[in-house]
Amino acid sequence: MNYSAKFWNKIAEGYSRQPIADEAAYQKKLQVTQEYFKPEMEVLEFGCPKGYRFAYGTGGTAIIHAPYVKHLRAIDFSSEMIKIAKAKAEAKNINNVTFERLTIEELTVADESFDVVLGLGILHLLENKKEVIAKVYKMLKPGGVFITSTACLGDTMKWFKVIAPIGRFLRLIPLVKVFTSKELENILSDAGFTIDYHWQPNQSTRKGVFTLKGVFIVAKKAN
C-alpha cells in the first residue's frame, strides 16, 4: 500500500465525521450534477468518500445521487473509507451503489461504459491527472460528462508547491499537486472535452494565506 493510501486509511474515521466546509456550495454542486442525471444512467465516482452531511457521512455524495440513476459504481483506494461508506449505504437501504476499494489507475472498464463520471476533490491528489483525465474521456459514452470539483492551489497558494514535499516527508499530508484552474481546463480541452459548466464558488474554505479556491467543472465528451 502506498503512503497516500495509508494516509487516507488513517484519517478515514475522523474524515467521515468532518463537517462540510461550505454547505451551500455543496448543495449547488449536487443540484447541478443531478441536472445531468437520467434514471437509466450508469455513473462512476472515484475518490468517493465525503465528509459528514446530516445522516449520510462518508460515501454520502454517492448515496445522495443514487436515487436519480440506474447504478453508481463508487471506488476509493482507502479500504477504511470504503468500509464506512458500505455500512452507511446498508443502513440507508441503498442498493444501486457498489463501493469498491480500487484506485482510478487500477480500474479497467470497456470504453464508453459510463454516462457520467464524478471526480470530486481528487484530481489535485493524483500523480498523473493528465492520464486519468484521458482515461475518463475513453470510459465515457459519447455525450457523457465528467464532473469535477478540484482544489486549484496554483490560483491562490502557489507557495504550497515548496512546502508540500516537506509536509509529505513528515507524513503530515498526502500527495498534493499544485496547478491553476486554467491549467486544469487546458488539460480537459486537450483530452477532447468541452467545458459545459464552470463555477468557482466565492467562498474559500479558509481565508488569508490559506485561501483555498476550488473550481467546479462539467466537461462534456462530444456526441
Ligand X SMILES: C[S@@+](CC[C@H](N)C(=O)[O-])C[C@H]1O[C@@H](n2cnc3c(N)ncnc32)[C@H](O)[C@@H]1O
Interface with ligand X by CB under 6 A: which residues? 4, 8, 46-51, 75-78, 81, 103-105, 120-122, 125-126
Q: How many CB atoms lie within 10 A of CB 88?
A: 22
- Is the Cβ of residue 94 or residue 143 nearer to ligand X in the bound state? 94
Q: How many CB atoms lie within 10 A of CB 83?
A: 18
- Vertex 184, ends 79 and 218: CA angle to 5°? 75
CA distances (Å), origin 145, targets 16, 33, 120, 194:
27, 10, 13, 10
| Residue 43 Cβ vs ligand X, minimum distance, rounded to whole Å | 13
CB-CB contact of 203 with 25 (8 Å): yes
User: What is the C-alpha to C-alpha distance for residues 112 and 78, in angstroms, rounded to an integer?
Assistant: 26
| Residue 48 Cβ vs ligand X, minimum distance, rounded to whole Å | 6
Q: In which element (H, E) is residue 155 found?
A: helix 153-156
- Is the Cβ of residue 105 or residue 185 nearer to ligand X in the bound state? 105
CB-CB contact of 137 with 193 (8 Å): yes
- Is the Cβ of residue 143 or residue 167 nearer to ligand X in the bound state? 167
| Residue 47 Cβ vs ligand X, minimum distance, rounded to whole Å | 3
- Is the Cβ of residue 128 or residue 194 nearer to ligand X in the bound state? 128
| Residue 80 Cβ vs ligand X, minimum distance, rounded to whole Å | 9
Tracing cell 504550497 back to the chain, one arrives at: 160
Per the structure block, which three cell numbers stand in for 84?
464506512
| Residue 4 Cβ vs ligand X, minimum distance, rounded to whole Å | 6
For the chain, the C-alpha Rg in angstroms (whole number) is 17
- Is the Cβ of residue 106 or residue 112 nearer to ligand X in the bound state? 106
| Residue 128 Cβ vs ligand X, minimum distance, rounded to whole Å | 9
Tracing cell 447541478 back to the chain, one arrives at: 32
User: What is the C-alpha to C-alpha distance for residues 49 and 33, in angstroms, rounded to an integer?
Assistant: 17
- Is the Cβ of residue 34 or residue 194 nearer to ligand X in the bound state? 34
